[in-house]
Amino acid sequence: MIDFSAFEKSVGFTFKDKELLKTAFTHRSYLNENRGTVKAHNERLEFLGDAVLELVITDFLFEKYPERPEGELTAFRASLVNTQSISSAAKELNMNDFLLLSRGESKDTGRARQFILANTFEAFIGALYLDQKYDAAKKFIENTLFGKIDKIVAERLWQDAKSTFQEKTQEEYSVTPSYKLVREAGPDHDKKFIVSAQIKNEAIAQGEGRSKQEAEQEAARAALAIKGW
């Protein structure tokens, strides 16, 4: 059985309720294969953690950028809490080493693992909030995400990729790009969308996301890179 004390030490938070911490790292697939050894999977904690994360980041950006309009703050927040950003933070914390997954999920280390890590990051925030209240959750988010915003703003990574892709496509081809849903993957509670960015019905790139909007942004971002725009 995984010893979570090493993780607690690395992040600087010791849980009063160890079962809560374990649940944060428990994927639904593991519960299905190991009934009796764990009590619950992490989806409810993820739901809570997502709300706490959004509040903390919104408060942080509101105070840090008093002159920025609401639209830009929304874009900053989206860049800071998207799947790529928070799964990257999870990797930096070595969360991957503590995941409780089914044998099948353990073999997949690609894009699906990125989603699992992002979900686990949010679930941990939810667990920390329940175990040690808001200030502890805020401190954890501060330690892991606040430092990323300067790069996002300086390199304009927050800009809407879809808008940029549309502008460039209209300049180069005099047409508006389109997006096509390629497929949906995963169960309803953890749906992933794969979308294709197209110019004149030609697929340029694909993107994945936990919503169609996020998938379209990822596809547009990939298409911009492919086109060198």
- Do 133 and 208 lie in one domain? The reply is no
Last residue of a domain, which of 104, 130, 154? 154
Last residue of a domain, which of 129, 154, 179? 154
Taking CA atoms, 7 is separated from 108, 141, 152, 180, in Å, by: 22, 16, 28, 41
Active site annotation includes 54:
no
Active site annotation includes 46:
no
Q: How far is CA 192 from the centre of its chain?
A: 12
Set 50, 208, 214, 218: catalytic member: 50
Task: Please tell me the total count of domains within the chain.
Answer: 2
CATH of the domain at 200: 3.30.160.20
- Domain interval for residue 218: 161-227
Set 46, 122, 208, 216: catalytic member: 122
pTM summary value: 0.76
- Do 84 and 125 lie in one domain? The reply is yes
pLDDT in tens, the chain (229 residues): 788 999 999 999 999 999 999 999 999 989 888 877 888 999 999 999 999 999 999 999 999 999 999 988 988 998 899 888 899 999 999 999 999 998 888 877 676 788 899 999 999 999 999 999 999 999 999 999 999 999 888 877 777 788 889 989 999 999 999 999 999 987 777 788 999 999 999 999 998 888 888 889 889 988 988 998 8
Cβ-based burial of 31 (10 A; exposed 0-12, middle 13-18, buried ≥19): buried
- DSSP letter assigned to residue 40: -
> Residue type for 78, please?
A
CATH of the domain at 86: 1.10.1520.10
Taking CA atoms, 135 is separated from 45, 56, 200, in Å, by: 17, 10, 51
The per-residue DSSP string of 163-186 comes to HHHHHHHHHHHSS--EEEEEEEES
